[in-house]
Amino acid sequence: MGENPAKNHYAQLNQGEENEMEIFGYKTQGCRKALCIAGYILSCGALLLLFYWKPEWDVWANCIRCSLEEADIVLLRTTDEFRIYSRKTVTWISVSALIKSRLDYPGTAEEDSVFSKAIMKPSLQVKSIQVQRIRYVWNIYAKQFQKVGALEDHHTCSAIHAKFGSGLTCNERNVRKVICGPNTIDVPVIPVWKLLIKEVLNPFYVFQLFSVCLWFAEDYMEYATAIIIMSLLSIFLTVYDLRQQSVKLHRLVESHNNITVTVCRNKEGDSCFQELESHHLVPGDMLVLKEGKTLLPCDAILISGQCIVNESMLTGESIPVTKTHLPQADNFKPWRMHCAEDYKKHVLFCGTEVIQTKADDTGVVKAVVLRTGFNTAKGDLVRSILYPKPMNFKLYRDALRFLMCLIAFAAIGMIYTVCVFALNGEEAGEVVKKSLDVITIAVPPALPAALTTGIIYTQRRLKKKGIFCISPQRINMCGQLNLICFDKTGTLTEDGLDLWGLLPCERDCFQDIHSFPADHSLPWGPVFRAMAVCHSLIVWEGKIQGDPLDVKMFEATNWVIDDSSGHKIEGQGSTHATVVRPGPKASSAPVEGVAILHQFPFSSALQRMSVIAQEIGGEQQVFTKGAPEMVAMLCRAETVPLNFESKLLLYTAQGFRVIGLACKSLQAGKQSTDLTREEVESDLTFLGLLIMENRLKRETKPVLEELSAARIRSVMVTGDNIQTAVTVAKNAGMISATNRVILVEANKIPGSFSASITWKPLEENKTEDYRGLAKAMGLEPRSPRVFTSAAPVQDDSPPTTERRIRLALASGQYHFAMSGKSYQIVAQHFRHLLPKLLLNGTVFARMSPGQKSSLVEEFQKLDYFVGMCGDGANDCGALKVAHAGISLSEQEASVASPFTSRTPSIACVPELIREGRAALVTSFCMFKYMALYSTIQYLGVLLLYWQLNAFGNYQFLFQDLAITTVIGVTMSFTGAYPKLVPYRPPSQLISPPLLLSVVLNILFSLSLQVFGFVVVQEQPWYSKTDIYSACLSVNNHMENSSSISSLGLHGMRDGAHGQTDNGYKSYENTTVWLLSTINCLIVALVFSKGRPFRQPIYTNYVFILVLIGQLGICLFLVFADIDDLYSKMDVSIIPSLFAPLPHGGSPW
Residues involved in catalysis: 487
Question: Virtual CA dihedral for 819, 822, 823, 825, nearest 10 degrees?
Answer: 160
C-alpha neighbours within 13 Å on the C-beta side of residue 26: 25
CA pair distance 869, 661, nearest whole angstrom: 31
> 535 vs 286, 494, 549, 601, CA distance in Å?
30, 20, 9, 8
Contact (CB, 8 A) for 330 and 307:
no
CA pair distance 114, 136, nearest whole angstrom: 10
CA pair distance 841, 746, nearest whole angstrom: 15
- CA distance from start to end of the chain: 87
CA pair distance 264, 358, nearest whole angstrom: 18
Contact (CB, 8 A) for 883 and 477:
yes
Contact (CB, 8 A) for 260 and 278:
yes
Q: Which amino acid is at 429?
A: G
String of DSSP letters for 587-605? PP-SSS-EEEEEEEEEETT
578-582 and 594-603 strand pairing? antiparallel
Single out the residue of 509, 427, 511, 480 nearest to residue 217, CA to CA: 427
Q: How many helices (H) and strands (E) does the chain have?
A: 38, 42
C-alpha neighbours within 13 Å on the C-beta side of residue 551: 15
Q: Which residues neighbour 690 within 8 Å (Cβ) at sequence distance 6 or greater?
A: 499, 502, 503, 531, 553, 625, 658, 659, 660, 661
Phi, psi of 1019 (to 5 degrees): -70, 145
Question: Does residue 1084 come out as left (phi exceeding 0), alpha (psi in the -120 to 50 range) or beta?
Answer: alpha
Per-residue b or e along 576-597, where b marks 16 or more CB atoms closer than 10 Å to that residue's CB = bbbbbbbeeebeebeeebbbbb
- Whether the ω angle into residue 601 lies within 30 degrees of 0, i.e. cis, is no
- Whether the ω angle into residue 641 lies within 30 degrees of 0, i.e. cis, is no
Question: What secondary structure letter does DSSP report for 150?
Answer: B
C-alpha dihedral sign at 207, 210, 215, 221: positive
Single out the residue of 608, 482, 285, 322 nearest to residue 883, CA to CA: 482
- The three-state secondary structure class of 780 is coil
Question: Does residue 626 come out as left (phi exceeding 0), alpha (psi in the -120 to 50 range) or beta?
Answer: left
CA pair distance 663, 643, nearest whole angstrom: 20
Contact (CB, 8 A) for 581 and 591:
no
Contact (CB, 8 A) for 588 and 609:
no
Strand partners, 610: 600, 624
Single out the residue of 250, 122, 105 nearest to residue 179, CA to CA: 105
String of DSSP letters for 274-339? EEEEGGG--TT-EEEEPSS-EE-SSEEEEEESEEEEE-HHHHS---EEEEEPPP---SSSBHHHHH
CA pair distance 15, 21, nearest whole angstrom: 7
